Amino acid sequence: MAKNLSNVISRRHLLGAFAATTLVAAPTYSNAFGLLRGAGDIRSVAMYSGRTGESIDTVYWVEGDYIKEALKEINYFMRDWRTDQVIKVDTRAIDIMAASHNLMDSKEPYMMLSGYRSPKTNAMLRSRSRNVARNSLHMKGQAADLRLKSRSVSQMANAATACSAGGVGKYSRARFVHMDCGPIRTWRG
């Protein structure tokens, strides 16, 4: 009987149990507990852009490993569409978006209003709106402004806030939520 039991317990199950124990024992480690609470063993992100007409629906993480090609696709999708500049998007920001989406239990893809912004684009937007930060995390590939038709701004902000992993800006008039992987904070725009 012990022989059959050893066949059932795989290395992957043991590593998963160890990881779960570690997360419960040390929930402050880079806010991993908050991030992973809604993310799962397979993480995916689905978005579309009204600006470019492009969409993305990809699995970017499987059982602890980021998929490089999927991240390249996400980087390109989240580029500054005004300048066509692409940078490496912080995976923590992608994780927050994925975990928030899972917590809302929605099948609808996000509409991405803004991902990466070049300094030039950020300065232009800042000249037009007091709601654009001078040192915006968009310029570091650490933020996204997102919308869902099927969820309210409050529902989206609550899901992102529940991740306890970054900044959440609630822009009710413009009907979007800002999610970033910076310090934990909330605000209304």
User: Are the CB atoms for 168 and 161 separated by under 8 Å?
Assistant: yes
What total number of domains does the chain contain?
1
Inside any domain, residue 144: yes
pLDDT at 34 over 80: no
Both ends of the chain: CA-CA distance in Å? 62
**Residue 4: predicted pLDDT:** 38
- Distance, in Å, from the CA atom of 70 to the CA atom of 43, rounded to the nearest integer, reads 11
User: Are the CB atoms for 56 and 74 separated by under 8 Å?
Assistant: yes
Q: DSSP 3-state assignment of 63?
A: coil
Angle ∠(168,171,177) on CA atoms, nearest 5: 45
pLDDT at 31 over 80: no
Q: Return all residues near 72 (Cβ < 8 A) that are at least 6 apart.
A: none
Inside any domain, residue 22: no
Domain membership of residue 164 as a residue range:
33-188
* pLDDT 10s digits, 124-178: 998 998 888 889 999 999 999 999 999 999 999 999 999 999 999 999 999 999 9
Inside any domain, residue 79: yes
Inside any domain, residue 10: no
**Residue 129: predicted pLDDT:** 87
Inside any domain, residue 119: yes
Inside any domain, residue 107: yes
Question: Tell me, what CATH number does 61's domain have?
Answer: 3.30.1380.10
